[in-house]
Structure formats: structure tokens, C-alpha cells
Structure 1
Amino acid sequence: MNDLNSLFEPIAAESVVDLVANQIENLIVQGILPEGARLPSERELSEKFDVSRPKVRDALKRLEELGLLHVRHGEGTFVAQLSGQAMTPALIDLYARHGMAFYDYLEYRKEQEAFATRLAAERSTPSDKAAIAEIIEELKQAHEAGDLDTSEQADVRLHTAIVNASHNAMLIHMMRSIYDLTQRGVFYNRRYLRTVDGSGDSLLQQHIRIADAVMSGDPGEAEAAARDHLDFVEMSFRIGEERERREAFAKKRKLALETTAASPGQANGRPSK
């Protein structure tokens, strides 16, 4: 928790409550303080802002009244849930029963990620690039070790880090909800992609290509890499679905042949004598 102290800066004496509240608001709107983040204590904030604790308390109370913070007695002050769920549980279940919704999801995600990745290539800071590079190394190590769980987690964190590097507050908040659905396996499980990419090599190389383009500051290549990656995801699922469809028919044919062989006299609808 003490690590969050570095997010706050000393402020001037005039309009102290306003300035404290505004600084916390800015951290929330930029996605730096995400939903559910626990703020430092009043004492810690008072020391970091270099203002009295009553002023900090008033600022926190104002933000709580605005619905931006939530106080849990005995636990602390937390950033409230602001963006809500991207979809209600009922809508998620409905989409799960109607497979074409998955491709709508991919279509939406492709356009948003392509835009975010282009922006990230133009706007990413040294800190953004360091975070992306660290996740890429984690992906490489997990791939070499065959650690699928770590790969899945790092995959989502990489896409999140790239969107964060776009420094577009709207994209950051909207895509966080989308990635939450992905991480919970609402639309697909990453392991299903291995129906095409059995080794996971292609996925790793795609992520490396995206990260390299962002870190080298090449917007055109970054956008193209993001689109190619989502095209691969879509192609993989279409191939996987087709394989499952063929296998289902193959099983039915096998069952029909076995049944016919067991009762040869019933072929062509004629009962045996």
C-alpha cells in the first residue's frame, strides 16, 4: 500500500480540499487508480499532500458523495466500481447460447485494439515500454516452460498494458471491462486457439511483434500487428468450430454404421425375418 504514496504530490494551501479531490479524481479518470484500489490512510495522504488530515478527510468525503470512492469501515477507502459490467450475467448467458455474438465481440475488440495500439506506439512513455517489455519476457519464459496458466494471465496483462500506453482514458476504462470478460473465459479460452497453433509459437510471435512495434514507435506496424493478431484468433476459432462440426457428424455416421451392422435385416427399412 505504501507504494501508492508516490502517486500523490504536495499542493498549495488555497482551495486545499478542491485540490486534493481533483488530484485523486485525475488519477481515477486516467485509470491509474483502478476500480477497487485501496487508497493510503488519511495520515499517509496528509503527509504526502502536505495538508492537514481534516482537509484530506473532507476531500475523501466529497469524492465518496460523488460516488467515486467507497469507505469500508475497518478496511479503508477504495475506488468505487465505476464502469460496471460490460454485460449483465443474463446477456452473457444469452450470447453464450448464440455463437455468432462471439464474432461481434472480436469485431469490436479488433477495431478498439488496433486504435489503442496505434496510439500506444505514438504516446507510450519509457515506463509504459518497460512494463510491456517485462510482460513479454514473462510470456517467453512461460512459453518455454509450457506454463499455460501464466501464459493466459500474461496475455491479458500485455493487452491491458498496451491499452494503458494509449493514454486515452475512455479506451482504458472500456477495454478493462472487455479484458475482464476475456480473462474469465466468457467468450473463449486461450487454449482453444491451439486448435490451429498447437505449440503456441504463433501467438507468442504475434505478441512480440505487437510489443516491438509499440516500443519502437511505429504506429502503422503496431496497428497492423494488432489486426493480424485478432484475425488469427478469429480464423482459429472458425477452424476449431468446423473441426468440431465434422467430428460430431463422424461420430453419428460411426454410430449409424455400427447400428446397421448389428441389425442387417433392418437395412432399407425392411424388418428381419
Structure 2
Amino acid sequence: MNKDVTPLFDPIGHESVSATIVKRIEEMIVTGVLKDGTRLPSERSLADAMQVSRPKVREALQQLESSGLLQVRHGEGSFVAPLIGTAMSPALVDLYARHTTAFSNYLEFRHEQESFAASLAAQRATEDDRSILREIVATMDEAHNKSDGELSRSADVRFHSAIVDASHNSLLIHTMASIYELMQRNVFYNREFLRAMDGSGEKLLQQHKDIAQAIFARDADRAADAASAHIEFVAASFKLSMSQKKRELVARRRRAILEISG
């Protein structure tokens, strides 16, 4: 193993081995290192990393499964259980998708939470957090230069998730993971209409860079303001898009009337 790489799990002593394993995995869930659906390493890998026996690892995993924190899928491995769940049921998602007023509520929520997360990230981000953010911004640049819409959307979701992770607020991390799942599924989110309002996507890219730079500079106020400005741009673009669609609908109906009367 490369000694320069920080291991995911540290070796532990022999006293209360299974209880110690349980405690360490619980800590990783609480802090958001392990999230809903995350697959744990195999028993053998965990035993090697922690320098304990496989039976002790198995005993700890069984305790975590009994407490509802892990799900063991035979033939697949151990996974973090769905602790937070989805933000809303599939039926409610479909209902919201048909009613545009819901998007405004969604943006109001994101505006406050992401501004708060960016502020915390500027104060708390570690060098590893900043490194992850730099890599994502580089991917955003690449996607922009290639006009790769799918890569842009994926990087966008990862960008906002990385900022929440860098806040080191476990409740925020778990709660927003559900919200970003909606972004990943393209619910309440259409990057193409934002690019259309933007013209080229250049403004969106710069907004993300502004947030990242403020975090790198450890400027909490500037990070919060940049995050707010980004969500406000999304909201303004959405309103503009809806107004345009209404005008187009009126124009089509007017033309239809003229064709009928003609």
C-alpha cells in the first residue's frame, strides 16, 4: 500500500474489537463519509485495513445490520442503509414536475441551504476537500469546452455535493444528498434551458468558479454571496423561460384563431 495515501480505515487494538469496528463505521456514517447506498469494502479488505480477524469484522457488520444502519445483500456485499430516504415519493415528484410553482419552492430551499453550505465550506474545507473541488471545476471546464451536456450536468451535481461535503455538517450532508438525487434524475432541473438563457453556458461556469474561488480563499461571506447569486440566476432564468413559453402559447392560439376565421 502507498504510504502517502490516507487509508479509509485505520488499524485498531484488540480490546472490544467488534465494538470498536462498529463505533468507527457509525462515525463514518454520522460524518457523511459513508452515505446512503455506499458499498463497504469486503470483509477481507476491512479485516486487512483494520488489522483484525474476519470473524470480528463479520460480528460488527451483523451488529450494524441489526441496528438498521447496514443492509447485507448476499452475493453483493454490505451497503449503508437508506437512512434519510428520498425527499419525496415518486408520486409527489411527478405531481411537482407538472406544477411549475413547486420549482420556486425547491429553489427557495436550495438558496438558503447552499448559501449556508458555501459559507461553512469556506471556513471548514480541508485541503482534500479543496482538491476534490478543483478537480470538479476542471471537469466543468472540460465539459464546457467540449459542449458535453451530460458531463456538464454530472459535474454540476458533483460540484454542489462537494461543497456540502466540505461544510462538514453531517445533517446538511445527508439532507442535501436527497435533494441532489433529484438534480441527478433531472427532476426540477434542466441545464439546457439555463444555457439557453445564458447564451453559451459561460455565465454558469463562471458562477461555479466564483463559488469555488471564494471557498479556496476561505472567504465565508463571499462564498455565501456567490452561492446566492447562482441560485438567483437559476430562478430568474426559470421565470424568463416560463414567460417566454406563455407568450409562445398565446401567439400559437392567436394564429390558430386567424387560420380558423380565415
Fold-level match, TM-score > 0.5? yes
1:266 alignment counterpart: none
The whole-number CA distance in structure 2 between the counterparts of 1:141 and 1:52 is 45
Partners of 1:139 and 1:172 in 2: CA distance: 22
Letter in 2 for 1:153: S
CA contact (8 A) 1:182 1:188 kept: yes
Residue 112 of structure 1: how far off its partner (Å): 0.3
Change (3 A) 1:84 1:195: same
SS across alignment from 1:7 = coil
1:241-265 Cα offsets, whole Å, 9 max, x none, are 000000000111111112222xxxx
CA distance in 1, matches of 2:95, 2:212: 35
C-alpha distance in 2, partners of 1:174/1:17? 29
DSSP-derived class of the 1:209 partner: helix
Match of 2:42 in 1: 41
Q: How does 1:125-144 map to 2 (within 5 A)?
A: 125-144=126-145
1:217 aligned to 2:214? Answer: no
RMSD: 1.4
Q: Conserved in 2, the CA contact under 8 Å of 1:5 and 1:45? A: no
Structure 2 CA distance for aligned equivalents of residues 215 and 119 of structure 1: 12
1:153-232 equivalent positions in 2, closer than 5 A: 153-232=154-233
Report the Cα offset of residue 221 of structure 1: 0.3
User: Which residue does 1:267 correspond to in 2?
Assistant: none
Look up the match of 1:100: 101
How many aligned positions are there?
Answer: 258
Q: 2:33 matched to which residue of 1?
A: 32
The one-letter code of the counterpart of 1:119 is: L
| Distance (whole Å) between structure 1 residues aligned to residue 90 and residue 149 of structure 2 | 27
For residues 6 and 202 of structure 2, the distance between their equivalents in structure 1, rounded to whole angstroms, comes to 40
| Matched residue, 1:76 | 77
How far does residue 5 in structure 1 lie from its aligned partner after superposition?
9.3
Equivalence for 2:259: 258
> CA contact under 8 A between 1:5 and 1:48: conserved in structure 2?
no
Task: Assess if the C-alpha contact under 8 Å between 1:195 and 1:239 holds in 2.
Answer: no
DSSP-derived class of the 2:188 partner: coil
User: What are the superposed Cα offsets for residues 2-42 of structure 1, whole Å, 9 maximum, x if unpaired?
Assistant: xx992111112222111110101111111112222222222
**If the length of structure 2 is used for normalisation, what is the TM-score?**
0.95
Alpha-carbon shift at residue 194 of structure 1 (Å): 2.5
What do residues 146-175 of structure 1 show as CA deviations (whole Å, max 9, x unaligned)?
111111110110000111000000111111
Runs of 4 or more, structure 1, over 6 Å off, are none
- What residue ranges of structure 1 are gaps of 5+ in the alignment? 262-273
Tell me, in whole angstroms, the C-alpha distance in 2 between the residues paired with 1:237 and 1:48: 49
State the secondary structure of the residue aligned to 2:72: strand
Question: Any unmatched runs of 5+ in structure 2?
Answer: none
Aligned-pair identity in percent equals 53
Measured in 1, the distance between the counterparts of 2:25 and 2:177 equals 20
